[in-house]
Amino acid sequence: MSLALTPRPLTGRGAGAGRTHDRWWAPWLFLAPALAIVITFILFPFVNTLALSVTDATLLRQGHFIGLDNFTRLAADERFRIAMTNSLLYVVCVVPVMVVAPLVLAALVNGSTRILGFFRTAYYLPVIMSSVVVGLIWTNLLDQRGLVNELLRWLNLVDEPIGFLSDRWLTLFSAMLVTIWSGLGYYMVIYLAAMANIDQDLYDAASMDGAGPIRRFLHVTAPGVRSTSALIGLFSSVAAFRVFGEVYVLTGGTGGLGGQNVTVTMLIQQEGTGLQAETGYAGAISVVMFVVLGLLLAGQLWYQNRGARS
């Protein structure tokens, strides 16, 4: 009995080599759950989408191979051009704000007093709200007969209500405003974490050199969180290009007046769902979206690496 409980000696070349050889699968065992999820929910749909994009499949009919016809059709599709313009504009306008504004906010609320804690919580609140709730709040505020227009009319600042949710560009900028408002707190928290890692001695040295709060922010804080800024730039680019909820809710699910506010993700949803779904065509839009996002991220990474090298 006692012999059976005695551990086997681990010394000896043969024993060690054998154990390593026998358990080659051990790392795969640990990886298996994650791999299964990645293959099932990411890799397989992705490959399936690639395959679909070169077919004329609909939801109810398996497609036939049609080569690049879907992509040719996309090139001539006015709605796709509008969607791509809107999504790229979203990235161009939202990302710089998302990189800078939360940093400023984080610098303002970076402290341990109770009042700063209150502001941190207040700025973070929109993050925990669902995009639908956020959208509904802003819809009620910005509607032609909503609170903002009523206020402007009451103050005699406008005669006619402003079409925040009906004019093509105003609707898009309203959606950007909502995205920024609801995302600031999230990135602010990331910046706060990064700022906690900046050496306090740097601030002390800057102060001794006579630097005020703005100089300390520009010369100590901002460089200290540079890598975090790059990361936030990446995150917010992807999120901005894939925007859906805000535009969907603000336009009542229609894609705006005459469909002028539709984004790429909304177009995929419109083409790829419902009984008349053209899944092959929607797949082609998805592939283009993937390529554009890939190029966007590659460009950002290249720029970031170039900055780090210099």
Could you list the residues that contact other proteins (CB under 8 A)? Answer: 40-42, 44-46, 48-49, 52, 55, 57-63, 143-145, 160-161, 163, 165-167, 242, 251-259, 265, 268, 270-280, 282-283, 286-287, 289-290
Contact 263, 86 (CB under 8 A): yes
Q: Which amino acid is at 280?
A: G
Cα distance between residue 212 and residue 232, in whole Å: 27
CB of 55 vs other proteins, minimal distance in Å: 6
Considering the complex, state which of residue 55 and residue 179 has its C-beta at the smaller distance from other proteins: 55
Cα distance between residue 284 and residue 66, in whole Å: 12
Burial class (CB in 10 A: 0-12, 13-18, 19+), 232: buried
Considering the complex, state which of residue 87 and residue 229 has its C-beta at the smaller distance from other proteins: 87
Residue 228 CB contacts under 8 Å (≥ 6 apart), including other chains: 190, 191, 194
CB of 156 vs other proteins, minimal distance in Å: 15
CB of 287 vs other proteins, minimal distance in Å: 7
Give the single-character DSSP code of 218.
I
Considering the complex, state which of residue 217 and residue 290 has its C-beta at the smaller distance from other proteins: 290
What CA–CA distances, in Å, run from 6 to 14, 18, 19, 23, 139? Answer: 19, 20, 18, 22, 72
CB of 229 vs other proteins, minimal distance in Å: 25
Closest CA relative to residue 273, chosen from 65, 58, 82, 87:
58
Considering the complex, state which of residue 121 and residue 130 has its C-beta at the smaller distance from other proteins: 130
CB of 44 vs other proteins, minimal distance in Å: 6
The number of beta carbons lying within 10 Å of the beta carbon of residue 161 is: 16
∠ CA 299-300-305, rounded to 5°? 100
Considering the complex, state which of residue 168 and residue 219 has its C-beta at the smaller distance from other proteins: 168
Considering the complex, state which of residue 106 and residue 282 has its C-beta at the smaller distance from other proteins: 282
Contact 248, 262 (CB under 8 A): no
CB of 51 vs other proteins, minimal distance in Å: 9
The CA dihedral of 211, 215, 220, 224, to the nearest 10 degrees, is 170
Considering the complex, state which of residue 98 and residue 264 has its C-beta at the smaller distance from other proteins: 264
What CA–CA distances, in Å, run from 222 to 104, 213, 215? Answer: 9, 12, 10
Give one DSSP letter per residue of 224-269, joined into a string. HTHHHHHHHHHHHHHHHHT--HHHHHHTTTS-SGGGTT--HHHHHH
Considering the complex, state which of residue 22 and residue 78 has its C-beta at the smaller distance from other proteins: 78
Considering the complex, state which of residue 54 and residue 103 has its C-beta at the smaller distance from other proteins: 54
Closest CA relative to residue 124, chosen from 192, 175, 213:
192
